Structure 1
Amino acid sequence: MSLRLLDLMEPEETVGNLWHGYASRFAAPEAAAGVAVSLEELRPSVAVIFRALGGKAGAEIAASWLR
């Protein structure tokens, strides 16, 4: 990503774009399959964090389809 002068006007967007460009070059390690967890195991913790960050109490936390 090449930086332009106007990019300095939106630093959050610029940093986000730089991070996305950096992080998208990496693939998940092959060893990650052995350490997978299910949503059911983490749902209570995810719910606490979601609500602590302002998520609505009525929102459902559910798995999404794989891309």
Structure 2
Amino acid sequence: MGTDWEAYDWKKEARDIAKVTSSSHFKISQCKGFHLRRSVKTNNILMRGEPHYRTDIGIERDIAKKTLH
């Protein structure tokens, strides 16, 4: 282990990239369905939470943190 590949701490890596769930634009505990989509223009991952299985009313927003370049 460690010679052919590196083992990463994925929780730490996700904290550096993804927003915390408490700052999302919908309440995760009230959602029954989640939709993930990659934006073609910005190449970001967009997420939408739906309160019911057969609805399409949620707003897609970016789940990644804003990075300063």
Name the TM-score, length of structure 2 as normaliser: 0.24
Q: Give the structure with the larger strand fraction.
A: 2
Q: Give the structure with the larger helix fraction.
A: 1
Structure of higher RCO (CA pairs closer than 8 Å, 6+ residues apart): 2
